[in-house]
Protein backbone atom coordinates (compact mmCIF):
# COMPACT_ATOMS: atom_id res chain seq x y z
CA UNK A 1 0.00 0.00 0.00
CA UNK A 2 2.90 2.35 0.80
CA UNK A 3 6.66 2.02 1.16
CA UNK A 4 7.67 5.48 2.38
CA UNK A 5 6.23 8.49 4.18
CA UNK A 6 5.22 10.38 1.04
CA UNK A 7 3.25 7.43 -0.29
CA UNK A 8 1.53 7.09 3.08
CA UNK A 9 0.61 10.78 3.12
CA UNK A 10 -0.63 10.78 -0.46
CA UNK A 11 -2.78 7.74 0.22
CA UNK A 12 -4.32 9.46 3.24
CA UNK A 13 -4.86 12.75 1.40
CA UNK A 14 -6.38 11.11 -1.66
CA UNK A 15 -8.92 9.26 0.46
CA UNK A 16 -9.41 12.01 3.05
CA UNK A 17 -8.25 9.77 5.86
CA UNK A 18 -5.95 10.21 8.83
CA UNK A 19 -2.61 8.42 8.77
CA UNK A 20 -3.72 6.00 11.45
CA UNK A 21 -6.63 4.85 9.30
CA UNK A 22 -4.39 3.99 6.37
CA UNK A 23 -1.90 2.31 8.66
CA UNK A 24 -4.71 0.30 10.26
CA UNK A 25 -5.91 -0.95 6.88
CA UNK A 26 -2.39 -1.96 5.96
CA UNK A 27 -1.89 -3.74 9.27
CA UNK A 28 -5.14 -5.65 8.85
CA UNK A 29 -4.04 -6.73 5.39
CA UNK A 30 -0.56 -7.82 6.47
CA UNK A 31 -1.55 -9.63 9.66
CA UNK A 32 -4.99 -10.86 8.66
CA UNK A 33 -6.25 -9.56 11.99
CA UNK A 34 -9.43 -7.61 12.57
CA UNK A 35 -9.39 -3.96 13.59
CA UNK A 36 -10.66 -5.02 17.00
CA UNK A 37 -7.76 -7.46 17.42
CA UNK A 38 -5.20 -4.84 16.41
CA UNK A 39 -6.59 -2.27 18.83
CA UNK A 40 -6.53 -4.93 21.55
CA UNK A 41 -2.81 -5.44 20.89
CA UNK A 42 -2.23 -1.70 20.89
CA UNK A 43 -4.03 -1.41 24.22
CA UNK A 44 -1.91 -4.20 25.67
CA UNK A 45 1.28 -2.36 24.74
CA UNK A 46 -0.08 0.95 25.94
CA UNK A 47 -0.80 -0.60 29.34
CA UNK A 48 2.90 -1.49 29.57
CA UNK A 49 3.81 2.06 28.57
CA UNK A 50 1.52 3.51 31.24
CA UNK A 51 3.04 1.40 33.99
CA UNK A 52 6.66 2.08 33.00
CA UNK A 53 6.03 5.83 32.64
CA UNK A 54 4.55 6.04 36.14
CA UNK A 55 6.42 3.42 38.18
CA UNK A 56 9.51 5.50 39.01
CA UNK A 57 7.59 8.73 39.59
CA UNK A 58 6.91 7.64 43.16
CA UNK A 59 9.75 5.21 43.88
CA UNK A 60 13.32 5.23 42.51
CA UNK A 61 14.29 2.06 40.67
CA UNK A 62 17.59 0.33 41.47
CA UNK A 63 19.91 -0.71 38.66
CA UNK A 64 23.55 -1.61 38.05
CA UNK A 65 25.54 1.40 39.19
CA UNK A 66 22.35 3.33 39.97
CA UNK A 67 23.47 6.06 37.59
CA UNK A 68 19.91 7.28 37.07
CA UNK A 69 18.11 5.93 40.12
CA UNK A 70 15.71 8.57 41.43
CA UNK A 71 15.93 11.00 38.51
CA UNK A 72 12.25 10.52 37.65
CA UNK A 73 11.13 11.05 41.24
CA UNK A 74 13.22 14.19 41.48
CA UNK A 75 11.87 15.56 38.19
CA UNK A 76 8.30 14.80 39.22
CA UNK A 77 8.78 16.74 42.46
CA UNK A 78 10.19 19.62 40.45
CA UNK A 79 7.20 19.52 38.11
CA UNK A 80 5.10 20.84 41.00
CA UNK A 81 7.15 24.04 40.89
CA UNK A 82 5.05 26.44 38.86
CA UNK A 83 7.99 28.80 38.57
CA UNK A 84 10.02 26.28 36.55
CA UNK A 85 11.30 27.33 33.14
CA UNK A 86 9.30 24.74 31.19
CA UNK A 87 6.25 24.69 33.45
CA UNK A 88 4.52 21.81 35.24
CA UNK A 89 3.22 19.98 32.15
CA UNK A 90 6.53 19.64 30.33
CA UNK A 91 8.40 18.74 33.50
CA UNK A 92 5.83 16.05 34.27
CA UNK A 93 6.20 14.68 30.73
CA UNK A 94 9.99 14.63 31.12
CA UNK A 95 9.57 12.81 34.43
CA UNK A 96 7.51 10.12 32.71
CA UNK A 97 10.16 9.66 30.03
CA UNK A 98 12.78 9.32 32.76
CA UNK A 99 10.58 6.84 34.61
CA UNK A 100 10.48 4.44 31.67
CA UNK A 101 14.26 4.76 31.37
CA UNK A 102 14.67 3.87 35.04
CA UNK A 103 12.37 0.89 34.69
CA UNK A 104 14.35 -0.29 31.69
CA UNK A 105 17.68 0.11 33.50
CA UNK A 106 16.32 -1.90 36.44
CA UNK A 107 15.30 -4.77 34.13
CA UNK A 108 11.62 -3.91 34.49
CA UNK A 109 9.00 -4.37 31.81
CA UNK A 110 8.94 -1.70 29.09
CA UNK A 111 7.71 -1.40 25.54
CA UNK A 112 10.58 -0.89 23.11
CA UNK A 113 9.38 1.99 20.97
CA UNK A 114 11.30 1.54 18.80
CA UNK A 115 14.13 0.40 21.13
CA UNK A 116 14.62 -0.22 24.84
CA UNK A 117 17.04 2.68 25.08
CA UNK A 118 14.41 5.07 23.73
CA UNK A 119 11.45 3.50 25.53
CA UNK A 120 10.37 6.61 27.45
CA UNK A 121 9.78 9.06 24.63
CA UNK A 122 6.64 7.76 22.95
CA UNK A 123 4.85 6.84 26.20
CA UNK A 124 5.57 10.25 27.71
CA UNK A 125 4.20 12.08 24.67
CA UNK A 126 1.15 9.86 24.28
CA UNK A 127 0.24 10.05 27.96
CA UNK A 128 1.11 13.73 28.26
CA UNK A 129 -1.02 14.80 25.29
CA UNK A 130 -3.83 12.51 26.37
CA UNK A 131 -3.83 13.89 29.92
CA UNK A 132 -3.69 17.52 28.81
CA UNK A 133 -6.61 17.28 26.42
CA UNK A 134 -8.63 14.63 28.26
CA UNK A 135 -8.51 12.30 25.26
CA UNK A 136 -10.23 8.95 25.36
CA UNK A 137 -8.32 5.68 25.12
CA UNK A 138 -9.19 5.04 21.47
CA UNK A 139 -7.85 8.43 20.35
CA UNK A 140 -4.64 7.75 22.24
CA UNK A 141 -4.32 4.31 20.66
CA UNK A 142 -4.86 5.88 17.27
CA UNK A 143 -1.84 8.04 18.03
CA UNK A 144 0.12 4.93 18.96
CA UNK A 145 -0.92 3.36 15.66
CA UNK A 146 0.30 6.42 13.76
CA UNK A 147 3.62 6.22 15.59
CA UNK A 148 4.00 2.53 14.80
CA UNK A 149 3.37 3.14 11.12
CA UNK A 150 6.02 5.86 10.95
CA UNK A 151 8.46 3.66 12.86
CA UNK A 152 7.85 0.76 10.49
CA UNK A 153 8.63 2.91 7.47
CA UNK A 154 11.88 4.14 9.03
CA UNK A 155 12.89 0.60 9.95
CA UNK A 156 12.28 -0.43 6.35
CA UNK A 157 14.19 2.44 4.76
CA UNK A 158 16.84 3.26 7.38
CA UNK A 159 17.54 2.01 10.91
CA UNK A 160 16.50 2.41 14.54
CA UNK A 161 19.64 0.79 15.91
CA UNK A 162 22.09 2.83 17.93
CA UNK A 163 24.81 0.37 16.98
CA UNK A 164 24.16 1.12 13.34
CA UNK A 165 23.04 4.74 13.27
CA UNK A 166 23.79 6.36 16.62
CA UNK A 167 21.27 7.79 19.06
CA UNK A 168 19.64 9.79 16.27
CA UNK A 169 18.32 6.44 15.08
CA UNK A 170 17.03 5.45 18.52
CA UNK A 171 15.87 8.46 20.51
CA UNK A 172 15.57 10.52 17.33
CA UNK A 173 13.26 8.07 15.61
CA UNK A 174 11.28 7.58 18.81
CA UNK A 175 10.74 11.33 18.92
CA UNK A 176 9.76 11.37 15.25
CA UNK A 177 7.19 8.65 15.89
CA UNK A 178 5.89 10.54 18.91
CA UNK A 179 5.66 13.85 17.04
CA UNK A 180 3.56 12.30 14.28
CA UNK A 181 1.29 10.78 16.91
CA UNK A 182 0.92 14.10 18.73
CA UNK A 183 -0.03 15.93 15.52
CA UNK A 184 -2.77 13.44 14.72
CA UNK A 185 -4.00 13.38 18.30
CA UNK A 186 -4.49 17.14 17.92
CA UNK A 187 -6.35 16.67 14.61
CA UNK A 188 -3.46 17.81 12.46
CA UNK A 189 -3.29 16.82 8.81
CA UNK A 190 -1.33 13.86 7.45
CA UNK A 191 1.07 16.32 5.80
CA UNK A 192 1.60 18.12 9.11
CA UNK A 193 2.39 14.81 10.83
CA UNK A 194 4.96 14.03 8.15
CA UNK A 195 6.52 17.47 8.52
CA UNK A 196 6.80 16.90 12.26
CA UNK A 197 8.76 13.71 11.58
CA UNK A 198 11.20 15.59 9.36
CA UNK A 199 11.64 18.46 11.82
CA UNK A 200 12.38 16.08 14.70
CA UNK A 201 15.09 14.26 12.78
CA UNK A 202 16.65 17.50 11.56
CA UNK A 203 16.82 18.66 15.17
CA UNK A 204 18.88 15.66 16.28
CA UNK A 205 20.78 14.78 13.11
CA UNK A 206 24.14 13.25 13.99
CA UNK A 207 23.31 12.50 17.63
CA UNK A 208 25.82 9.86 18.73
CA UNK A 209 25.35 6.81 20.94
CA UNK A 210 27.91 6.93 23.77
CA UNK A 211 26.56 5.13 26.86
CA UNK A 212 28.67 5.42 30.02
CA UNK A 213 30.17 2.00 30.82
CA UNK A 214 28.02 0.52 28.08
CA UNK A 215 24.91 0.82 30.26
CA UNK A 216 21.61 2.16 28.93
CA UNK A 217 21.44 4.86 31.59
CA UNK A 218 23.60 7.94 30.88
CA UNK A 219 23.11 9.85 28.63
CA UNK A 220 20.21 7.67 27.43
CA UNK A 221 17.76 8.77 30.13
CA UNK A 222 18.54 12.45 29.64
CA UNK A 223 18.04 12.04 25.91
CA UNK A 224 14.70 10.39 26.50
CA UNK A 225 13.66 13.55 28.32
CA UNK A 226 15.12 15.97 25.77
CA UNK A 227 13.81 14.12 22.74
CA UNK A 228 10.36 14.05 24.31
CA UNK A 229 10.46 17.83 24.24
CA UNK A 230 11.87 17.74 20.71
CA UNK A 231 8.82 15.72 19.67
CA UNK A 232 6.39 18.22 21.20
CA UNK A 233 8.23 21.26 19.82
CA UNK A 234 8.32 19.72 16.35
CA UNK A 235 4.65 18.78 16.54
CA UNK A 236 3.72 22.35 17.44
CA UNK A 237 5.87 23.76 14.64
CA UNK A 238 4.12 21.47 12.16
CA UNK A 239 0.67 22.25 13.58
CA UNK A 240 1.48 25.95 13.20
CA UNK A 241 2.03 25.36 9.49
CA UNK A 242 5.79 24.93 9.25
CA UNK A 243 6.77 22.74 6.32
CA UNK A 244 10.05 20.87 6.13
CA UNK A 245 12.19 22.29 3.34
CA UNK A 246 13.64 18.82 2.87
CA UNK A 247 10.99 16.13 2.26
CA UNK A 248 10.57 13.71 5.18
CA UNK A 249 11.80 10.68 3.24
CA UNK A 250 14.96 12.55 2.24
CA UNK A 251 15.52 13.51 5.87
CA UNK A 252 15.21 9.84 6.86
CA UNK A 253 17.70 8.90 4.15
CA UNK A 254 20.10 11.62 5.29
CA UNK A 255 19.83 10.39 8.89
CA UNK A 256 20.69 6.89 7.72
CA UNK A 257 23.70 8.07 5.72
CA UNK A 258 24.96 10.19 8.60
CA UNK A 259 24.65 7.20 10.90
CA UNK A 260 26.66 5.06 8.52
CA UNK A 261 29.43 7.67 8.53
CA UNK A 262 29.67 7.86 12.31
CA UNK A 263 32.84 6.16 13.59
CA UNK A 264 32.50 2.90 15.49
CA UNK A 265 33.47 4.65 18.71
CA UNK A 266 30.26 6.70 18.55
CA UNK A 267 27.84 3.87 17.89
CA UNK A 268 26.95 2.11 21.16
CA UNK A 269 30.45 0.77 21.81
CA UNK A 270 31.16 3.02 24.83
CA UNK A 271 34.54 3.81 23.28
CA UNK A 272 33.92 7.47 22.45
CA UNK A 273 31.95 10.56 23.38
CA UNK A 274 30.87 10.83 27.02
CA UNK A 275 31.89 7.23 27.67
CA UNK A 276 35.50 8.11 26.83
CA UNK A 277 35.76 11.10 29.17
CA UNK A 278 37.97 10.74 32.26
CA UNK A 279 34.94 10.56 34.52
CA UNK A 280 33.19 8.15 32.17
CA UNK A 281 36.19 5.83 32.30
CA UNK A 282 36.39 6.03 36.10
CA UNK A 283 32.72 5.13 36.39
CA UNK A 284 33.26 2.15 34.15
CA UNK A 285 36.21 0.92 36.23
CA UNK A 286 34.27 1.40 39.45
CA UNK A 287 31.24 -0.49 38.13
CA UNK A 288 33.31 -3.39 36.85
CA UNK A 289 35.16 -3.62 40.19
CA UNK A 290 31.83 -3.81 42.03
CA UNK A 291 30.63 -6.60 39.78
Question: Quick one: residue 108, left, alpha or beta (phi over 0 = left, psi -120 to 50 = alpha)?
Answer: beta
Q: 57, 72 in Cβ contact below 8 A?
A: yes
Q: What's the confidence (pLDDT) of residue 82?
A: 86
Alpha helix stretches (DSSP H) within the chain = 5-15, 19-31, 35-58, 71-79, 87-105, 121-133, 137-157, 162-165, 171-185, 190-203, 220-239, 248-261, 278-290
Under the banding of pLDDT at 50, 70 and 90, the label for residue 202 is very high
Q: Can you tell me whether residue 267 is helix, strand or coil?
A: strand
Non-local (6+) Cβ contacts of 225 within 8 A are 75, 94, 97, 98, 120
Q: 162, 267 in Cβ contact below 8 A?
A: yes
Question: In angstroms, rounded to a whole number, what is the distance separating the alpha carbons of residues 177 and 202?
Answer: 14
CA–centroid distance for 23 within its chain? 19
Under the banding of pLDDT at 50, 70 and 90, the label for residue 288 is confident
Q: Can you tell me whether residue 209 is helix, strand or coil?
A: strand
Beta bridge partners of 209: 267
Q: What's the confidence (pLDDT) of residue 55?
A: 98
Q: What's the confidence (pLDDT) of residue 168?
A: 98
Residues present in the chain in total: 291
Query: Tell me: the pLDDT tens digits for 69-106?
Result: 999 999 999 999 889 999 999 999 999 999 999 999 99
Q: 181, 149 in Cβ contact below 8 A?
A: no
Helix H or strand E encompassing 116: none
Under the banding of pLDDT at 50, 70 and 90, the label for residue 1 is confident
CA–centroid distance for 129 within its chain? 14
Under the banding of pLDDT at 50, 70 and 90, the label for residue 203 is very high
Under the banding of pLDDT at 50, 70 and 90, the label for residue 291 is low
State what percent of residues in the chain have pLDDT above 70. 100
Question: In angstroms, rounded to a whole number, what is the distance separating the alpha carbons of residues 262 and 124?
Answer: 29
Query: Tell me: the pLDDT tens digits for 245-285?
Result: 999 999 999 999 999 999 999 999 999 999 999 999 999 99
Q: 167, 223 in Cβ contact below 8 A?
A: yes
The number of domains in the chain is: 1
Query: Tell me: the pLDDT tens digits for 42-63?
Result: 999 999 999 999 999 999 999 9
Question: In angstroms, rounded to a whole number, what is the distance separating the alpha carbons of residues 118 and 46?
Answer: 15
Query: Tell me: the pLDDT tens digits for 117-153?
Result: 999 999 999 999 999 999 999 999 999 999 999 999 9
Query: Tell me: the pLDDT tens digits for 148-199?
Result: 999 999 999 999 999 999 999 999 999 999 999 999 999 999 999 999 999 9
Q: Is the pLDDT of residue 290 over 80?
A: no
Domain span including residue 65? 5-290
Query: Tell me: the pLDDT tens digits for 9-20?
Result: 999 999 999 999
Amino acid sequence: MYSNIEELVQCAEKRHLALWQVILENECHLTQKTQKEIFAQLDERYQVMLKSARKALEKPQKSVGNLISGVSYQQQLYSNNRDSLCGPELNHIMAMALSASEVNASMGKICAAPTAGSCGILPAVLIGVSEKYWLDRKTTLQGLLTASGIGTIIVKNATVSGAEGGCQAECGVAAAMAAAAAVEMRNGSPRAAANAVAIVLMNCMGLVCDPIAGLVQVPCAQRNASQTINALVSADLALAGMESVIPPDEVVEAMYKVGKKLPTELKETALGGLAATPTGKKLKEKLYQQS
